[in-house]
């Protein structure tokens, strides 16, 4: 099981410095999310500083870019990282796609399916396996003159993963994607009971083995040897759970765990801006479902117990904040990284 860190917006120099330190600490990889910055330049800078680290977008927003643009970027990053880059894509939500990016947002699962098929058609054309041709409902592609086709290289098996929460997008992942980015707000009943049927059904549609699809799992992991040391991380985690749980896309997980009506309660406080009341609704039992709060020496064992045999990669969602707040914490994260990666 690989052990990664989720990185957020920073300068290229800061990204390179973080990657070099993670590589030395025994991390497997670094994911860069697309929020206030695009991820590509951060990954390029980081990969040059850390030549053995894996890189991915976790996630990049798909629909504002054509599949050709995404394929060209992924192709170039795969070449220059010697195959250590895989593309992670997500649909985002309608308001952002239409009002922030001025792009098309239709039915997200069918649109993502067509996007992935178009993306893979681009890769086949880049490998000179066939002329570019994808006759899909959203992204028809049919023109790639030789002089516009990127140069071939030794790392042409470019992996593409998608984020998925609901059953329709999970089926798309099972049918086409190389991996699935699980949402950081997840419980083990979700991973064990909700995900597998959709992955298996999707994989069966295209004659694939669902077991070969990588599960990339961001984790709300909060280490610390005292309540005081864990306090900032716990607050951050509870705030995230409250924010995500107030939206319909994620709230079904509360129902699965017996917290019926929780979404409506959270939504009231989110709309009013009462963060304290929002956080107060997330009790310790709920925290145990959606995160791991543990002493430093116990965190690796808890990660292994929860995710080994299920996740291909675990991604520490809040570790960058922990390291920036106290640089000495990197040594503690290093011990956890090496223990998790060594687990059989």
Domain boundary among 259, 289, 319: 289
**Shared domain check, 273 and 219:** no
Whether residue 250 is predicted with pLDDT greater than 90 in this model: the reply is no
Residue 234 domain boundaries: 226-289
Residue 9, burial from CB neighbour count under 10 angstroms (0-12, 13-18, 19+): middle
**Shared domain check, 114 and 240:** no
Q: What percent of the chain has pLDDT over 70?
A: 100
Question: Mind listing the pLDDT tens digit for each residue in 132-144?
Answer: 999 999 999 999 9
pLDDT tier at 247, thresholds 50, 70, 90: confident
Taking the C-alpha atoms of residue 192 and residue 156, their distance in angstroms, rounded to an integer, is 33
**Shared domain check, 336 and 253:** no
Confidence at residue 163, expressed as pLDDT on a 0 to 100 scale: 98
Taking the C-alpha atoms of residue 99 and residue 186, their distance in angstroms, rounded to an integer, is 28
Cβ neighbours of residue 130 under 8 Å, at least 6 residues apart? 124
Tell me the pTM: 0.96
| Closest to 14 (Cα-Cα) out of 341, 235, 323 | 323
- Average pLDDT over the chain, rounded to an integer: 96
Domain boundary among 289, 311, 328: 289
Confidence at residue 78, expressed as pLDDT on a 0 to 100 scale: 98
Confidence at residue 207, expressed as pLDDT on a 0 to 100 scale: 98
**Shared domain check, 20 and 38:** yes
pLDDT tier at 219, thresholds 50, 70, 90: very high
Residue 305, burial from CB neighbour count under 10 angstroms (0-12, 13-18, 19+): exposed
Angle at 221 between CA 270 and CA 343, to 5 degrees: 150
Taking the C-alpha atoms of residue 28 and residue 47, their distance in angstroms, rounded to an integer, is 13
CATH number of the domain within which 220 lies: 3.20.20.30
Number of domains in the chain: 2
Instruction: Answer yes or no: are the C-beta atoms of 195 and 170 closer than 8 Å.
Output: yes
**Shared domain check, 277 and 200:** no
**Shared domain check, 284 and 297:** no
**Shared domain check, 214 and 274:** no
Question: Mind listing the pLDDT tens digit for each residue in 47-90?
Answer: 999 999 999 999 999 999 999 999 999 999 999 999 999 999 99
Taking the C-alpha atoms of residue 63 and residue 112, their distance in angstroms, rounded to an integer, is 8
Confidence at residue 28, expressed as pLDDT on a 0 to 100 scale: 98
Of 27-41, 138-152, 260-274, give the lowest mean pLDDT range: 260-274
Instruction: Answer yes or no: are the C-beta atoms of 88 and 161 closer than 8 Å.
Output: yes
């Amino acid at each position: 099981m690989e052990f990664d860190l989720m990185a957020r917006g920073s300068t290229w120099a800061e990204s390179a410095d973080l990657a070099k330190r993670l590589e030395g600490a025994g991390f497997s990889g670094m994911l860069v999310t697309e929020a206030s910055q695009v991820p590509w330049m951060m990954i390029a800078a980081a990969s040059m500083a850390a030549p053995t680290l894996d890189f991915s977008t976790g996630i990049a927003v798909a629909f504002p870019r054509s599949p050709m643009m995404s394929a060209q970027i992924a192709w170039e990053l795969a070449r220059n990282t010697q195959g250590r880059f895989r593309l992670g894509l997500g649909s985002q939500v309608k308001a952002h796609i239409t009002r922030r990016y001025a792009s098309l947002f239709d039915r997200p699962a069918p649109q993502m399916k067509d996007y992935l098929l178009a993306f893979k058609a681009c890769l086949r054309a880049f490998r000179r396996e066939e002329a570019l041709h994808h006759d899909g409902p959203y992204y028809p592609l049919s023109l790639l003159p030789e002089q516009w086709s990127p140069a071939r290289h030794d790392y042409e098996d470019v992996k593409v993963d998608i984020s998925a929460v609901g059953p329709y997008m999970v089926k798309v992942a099972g049918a086409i994607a190389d991996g699935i980015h699980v949402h950081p707000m997840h419980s083990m009943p979700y991973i064990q009971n909700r995900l597998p049927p959709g992955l298996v059904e999707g994989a069966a549609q295209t004659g694939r083995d669902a077991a070969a699809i990588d599960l990339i799992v961001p984790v709300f992991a909060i280490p610390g040897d005292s309540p005081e040391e864990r306090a900032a991380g716990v607050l951050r985690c509870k705030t995230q759970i409250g924010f995500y749980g107030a939206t319909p896309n994620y709230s079904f997980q509360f129902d699965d765990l017996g917290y019926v009506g929780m979404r409506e309660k959270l939504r009231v406080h989110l709309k009013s801006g009462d963060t304290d009341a929002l956080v107060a609704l997330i009790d310790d039992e709920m925290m145990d479902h959606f995160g791991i709060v543990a002493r430093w020496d116990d965190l690796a064992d808890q990660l292994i117990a929860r995710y080994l045999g299920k996740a291909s990669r675990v991604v520490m969602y809040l570790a960058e904040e922990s390291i920036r707040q106290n640089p000495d914490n990197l040594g503690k994260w290093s011990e956890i990284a090496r223990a998790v990666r060594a687990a059989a």
